[in-house]
């Protein structure tokens, strides 16, 4: 059942980046922070790539097994799976708003509105998983199911061809303003 802890940890990382973007937008609107467009781009990339490449595939596997064990939670699972499928479309809307803001800083409000919409959606999505589905999996899966899930998760973690999301997260924290990060400094993809 290590898998449940991994999913919760991944939610924490995604929530931290959502929180960071919200914090920065608030300070930019208040004139307290200069926007770092490269940092915003890297954060939105993190939200997209980490969720799509690392997080959702693990959940999809767990949910598929859960469905074979119980009819409970069927509605929540259908909602979550539709939301996973619509993930790229939702993040594309956020990307477009960020591209507009990068081209024209006067569109800050539109970017902030697009971000709010995305953040609200994703927080609700994670909450449904944490409150309705993960506890159900905790009770419904058999030891053999957990062995299968844990093996799948371990395999996903050792996918050496993928991006180093932990290093990316650290760079985001290094460049984010205090108190959410180590202090505002220009974001660069590599050090």
Residue ranges that bind Fe ion, judged by CB under 5 A: 59, 129
Distance from CA of residue 82 to its chain's centroid? Answer: 16
> What span, in angstroms and rounded, lies between the C-alpha atoms of 54 and 45?
13
- CB nearer to Fe ion: pick between 36 and 129: 129
Half-sphere exposure of 19 (CA within 13 A, CB side): 11
Residues 6+ apart with CB under 8 A from 76: 128, 132, 133
* Residue indicated by tokens 């997209």: 48
Minimum distance between the CB of residue 7 and Fe ion, rounded to whole angstroms?
6
- CB nearer to Fe ion: pick between 124 and 142: 124
Minimum distance between the CB of residue 43 and Fe ion, rounded to whole angstroms?
18
- CB nearer to Fe ion: pick between 36 and 59: 59
Minimum distance between the CB of residue 94 and Fe ion, rounded to whole angstroms?
17
Q: Are 7 and 64 in contact (CB under 8 A)?
A: no
- Nearest one of 161, 101, 116, 137 to 6, comparing CA atoms: 137
Minimum distance between the CB of residue 1 and Fe ion, rounded to whole angstroms?
16
- CB nearer to Fe ion: pick between 62 and 172: 62
């Amino acid at each position: 059942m290590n898998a449940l802890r991994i999913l919760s940890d991944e939610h924490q990382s995604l929530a931290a980046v959502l929180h960071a973007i919200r914090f920065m937008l608030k300070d930019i609107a208040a004139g307290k922070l200069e926007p770092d467009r490269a940092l915003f781009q890297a954060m939105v990339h993190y939200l997209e790539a980490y969720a799509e490449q690392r997080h959702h595939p693990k959940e999809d596997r767990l949910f598929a097994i859960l469905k074979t064990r119980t009819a409970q939670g069927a509605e929540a699972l259908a909602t979550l799976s539709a939301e996973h499928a619509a993930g790229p479309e939702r993040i594309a809307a956020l990307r477009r708003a960020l591209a507009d803001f990068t081209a024209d800083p006067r569109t800050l409000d539109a970017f902030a509105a697009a971000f709010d919409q995305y953040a609200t959606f994703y927080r609700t999505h994670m909450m449904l998983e944490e409150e309705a589905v993960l506890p159900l999996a905790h009770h419904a899966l058999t030891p053999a199911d957990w062995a299968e899930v844990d093996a799948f998760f371990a395999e996903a973690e050792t996918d050496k061809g993928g991006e180093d999301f932990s290093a990316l997260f650290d760079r985001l924290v290094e460049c984010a303003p205090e108190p959410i990060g180590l202090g505002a400094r220009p974001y660069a993809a590599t050090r």
